[in-house]
Amino acid sequence: MNYIDPHIHMVSRTTDDYKRMALAGCVMVSEPAFWAGFDRSGPEGFRDYFRQLTEYEGRRAGAYGIAHHSWLCINAKEAENVALSREVIAMIPEFLDRPGVLGIGEIGLNKNTRNEATVFQEHLDLAARTGELVLVHTPHLADKYQGTRMILDMLREDGRIPPVRVCIDHVEEHTIRAALDAGHWVGMTLYPITKCTPARAADMIEVHGTERIMANSAGDWGHSDPLAVPELIFEMRRRGHDEATIRKIVYENPLAFFSQCHRFEFTPRNAAVG
């Protein structure tokens, strides 16, 4: 089955990963801007990173027939430095009209601090003024519930971005309902440790249905699996879900969310998709 991985950090994966993903049916990825495993020394480090995301990574993906899209922001971890964050946010509009850019992300919270919240709100302001989609990172483990509540409150209080143009990512059993009820899309992240396993993601689909729900690997520089979405396909088939249900989660839903971006274009190379 052809699938889309709507959240994966390919700059930290190998070309062999692209090949294995293509062999497993991947036809598109979207790559949010994130923490690189180290703090950049200044705003120019982000300029180079945004060039990597918007100029180079698409070519590497394209060699394996995978369409590459990206999101731009300063991640929550480096957002503790508000002065640096403001310089990066001011730079983002230079890159927004490049092909493949889907919007602002992954913004959000890491430790739920005041500075992170300030920078999150300033990213929302940029997205509202420029009419961009938003991809939101929610914190890990013990900080997730409170951080998700704070994020949903800030989105509602700002009020300028229609909820359906925002995806709340890394949802788990205790946060998915609130994000869906607020009208947002959600992403379930399939991680070998922490976050959510394929079995837990299948459970959540069985409880909450398939509307506005996506699944991703969030593969990055740490312990993660770029083939996690095919693992979910395998788990859902094992449980007897029909192909249409699986395809909605791993292909049609990400396409529907991305299609709200006025720059989004996608022509499947294989007409017999699915």
- The binding site for Zn ion (CB under 5 A) comprises 34, 218
Per-residue CA distances from 137 to 67, 110, 242 (Å): 22, 8, 30
Give the C-alpha separation, 193 to 30, whole Å: 22
Name which of 5 and 231 has its Cβ closer to Zn ion. Answer: 5
Token readout for 243 is 């192909």
Least Å from the CB of residue 139 to Zn ion: 12
- State which residue, 228 or 246, has the beta carbon closest to Zn ion: 228
Q: Smallest distance, Å, CB 106 to Zn ion?
A: 5
- Tell me the residue type at 188: M
Least distance (Å) between residue 138 CB and Zn ion: 11
Q: Where are the alpha helices (DSSP H) in the chain?
A: 15-23, 43-51, 57-62, 82-91, 93-96, 114-130, 144-158, 176-181, 198-208, 228-238, 243-247, 253-258
Query: Which is closer to Zn ion, CB of 150 or CB of 218?
Result: 218
Q: How far is the CB of 240 from Zn ion (least distance, A)?
A: 31
Q: Which is nearer to Zn ion, 141 or 272 (CB)?
A: 141
For residue 228, the minimal CB distance to Zn ion (Å) is 13
Shortest distance, position 189 Cβ to Zn ion, whole Å: 8
Task: Pick the closer one to Zn ion by CB: 11 or 236.
Answer: 11
Q: In one letter, which amino acid is 259?
A: S
* HSE value, Cβ hemisphere, 13 Å, CA-based, for 201: 32
Partners of 118 in beta bridges: none
Q: Exposed, middle or buried, 159 (CB in 10 Å: 0-12/13-18/19+)? A: exposed
The first and second tokens of residue 133, run together, are 């989609």
Q: How far apart are the C-alpha atoms of 70 and 136, rounded to whole Å?
A: 14
Query: Residue 57, Cβ neighbours under 10 Å: how many?
Result: 21
| Closer Cβ to Zn ion, 6 or 25, answer by number | 6
In angstroms, give the least distance from the CB of 170 to Zn ion: 8
In terms of CB distance, is 226 or 246 closer to Zn ion?
226
C-alpha dihedral sign at 116, 117, 123, 127: positive
